[in-house]
Structure 1
Amino acid sequence: MHNILFTTDEKFAQHCGVCTVSLLKNNPRERFSIVVVGMGLSESSQKNLKACVNCFDNAVLEIVDFQKEKLIDFPQIGHYQKNIYLRLWVDEFFGDDVEKVLYLDVDTIVVDSISELFEIDLKDNVLASVNIPFATSHNRCHLPLEYEYFNSGVLIFNLKQWRLEDGRQKILDFLLKNSDIALNPDQDALNGVFYKKRLTLDYTYNAITPFFKKELFKKLGVRELSRIRENVKIVHFNGNARPWIYTCNHPYQRVYFKYLKYTPWSSYIPEDKSVFNYIKKQLRFMLGIESFVKLATVKGK
Structure 2
Amino acid sequence: MNIVLTIDTNFAPQAAACIASVCENNKDVSSISFFILTTGIKEPAGKKLHTLVESYDRTLDIIDIGNIYQYFDSDFDTAGWSEIILARLLMARFLPVSVSRVLYLDGDTIVRRSLSPLWNTDLDSNLIGAVREPTASAERRKALHIADMRYFNSGVLLIDLDSWRSNSIEKTLLDYCRNHKAVLFASDQDAINGALATRIKELSPSYNYVNSFFYYPYSALVRMCRPAQYISRENYEAAIADPTIVHFLGEERPWRAGNTHQYRSDYAHYLSLTPFSNMPMEQGWETYFKAWRTFNTATKPFPMLRYRIITSLIPTFMRFRAAKRRRT
Question: Is the structural similarity TM-score above 0.5?
Answer: yes
User: Over residues 55-108 of structure 1, what are the superposed CA-to-partner deviations in whole Å (9 max), with x where a residue is unaligned?
Assistant: 213x21111111116635242231123221111222133333322110000011
Give the partner amino acid of 2:197.
Answer: Y
Of residues 244-253 and 72-81 in structure 1, the stretch that sits farther from structure 2 once superposed is 72-81
Task: Quote the Cα distance in structure 2 between the aligned partners of 1:35 and 1:237.
Answer: 21
Gaps of at least 5 residues in structure 1 are 293-301
- Structure 1 counterpart of 2:157, from 155, 158, 163: 155
Pair 63,289 (structure 1): closer, same or farther in 2 beyond 3 Å? same
Distance in 2 (CA, whole Å) between partners of 1:225 and 1:202 is: 8
Write out aligned runs for 1:12-51 (5 A).
12-30=11-29, 31-51=31-51
Relative to 1, partners in 2 of residues 1:69 and 1:129: Cα closer, same or farther, differing over 3 Å?
A: closer
**Residue 228 of structure 2 is aligned to residue 212 of structure 1:** no
Aligned residues: 282
- Which residue pairs with 2:145 in the alignment? 142
Q: How does 1:50-69 map to 2 (within 5 A)?
A: 50-57=50-57, 59-68=58-67
Q: Secondary structure at the match of 2:44?
A: helix
Q: Which amino acid aligns with 1:139?
A: K
Cα 1:33/1:173, change in 2 over 3 Å: same
8 Å Cα contact 1:210-1:217 kept in structure 2? no
Deviations 1:126-156 (CA, angstroms, capped at 9, x unpaired): 11111112533321211150x2000000001
Give the aligned partner of residue 203 of structure 1.
205
Q: How far apart, CA to CA, are the structure 2 residues paired with 1:122 and 1:227? A: 21
After TM superposition, give the deviation of residue 4 of structure 1 in Å.
0.8
CA contact (8 A) 1:140 1:188 kept: no
3-state SS of the aligned residue for 1:168?
helix
Asked if structure 2 preserves the Cα contact closer than 8 Å seen for 1:71 and 1:82, the reply is no
Does the 8 Å CA contact 2:205/2:240 hold for their aligned counterparts?
no
AA aligned to 1:47 is K
Identity of aligned residues (%): 31
The residue aligned with 1:255 is 266
Query: How far does residue 121 in structure 1 lie from its aligned partner after superposition?
Result: 2.1
Q: Distance in 2 between matches of 1:270 and 1:211?
A: 25
Higher normalized helix content (fraction of residues)? 2
Is the 8 Å Cα contact of residues 24 and 56 (structure 1) preserved in structure 2? Answer: yes
State the 1:28 CA deviation.
Answer: 1.0
In structure 2, how many angstroms separate the alpha carbons of the residues matched to 1:266 and 1:88? 31
CA distance in 2, matches of 1:73, 1:133: 29
* Whole-angstrom distance in 1 between the partners of 2:102 and 2:80: 28
Distance, in Å, in 1 between the alignment partners of 2:219 and 2:256 is 26
Q: Does 1:167 align with 2:169?
A: yes
Name the amino acid aligned to 2:123.
L
1:141 is matched by which residue type in structure 2?
L
User: Structure 1 counterpart of 2:184, which letter?
Assistant: A
Q: 1:10 and 2:21 equivalent?
A: no
Rounded Cα–Cα distance in structure 2 between residues aligned with 1:271 and 1:80: 19
Verify the 8 A CA contact 1:133 1:217 in the aligned structure 2.
no
Q: 1:270 to 1:134 in 2, by over 3 A?
A: closer
Residue 15 of structure 1 contacts residue 107 of structure 1 at CA under 8 Å; is this kept in 2? Answer: yes
CA separation of 1:148/1:76 partners in 2, compared to 1, >3 Å: closer, same or farther?
A: same
Q: Which residue of 2 aligns with 1:289?
A: 297
Residue 296 of structure 1 aligns with which residue?
none
Post-superposition offset of 1:253: 0.8
State the distance in 1 between where 2:80 and 2:69 align.
Answer: 20
| CA deviation after TM superposition for structure 1 residue 10, in Å | 1.1
Q: What's the secondary structure of 2:7's corresponding residue?
A: strand
- Root-mean-square deviation (CA), in Å? 2.6
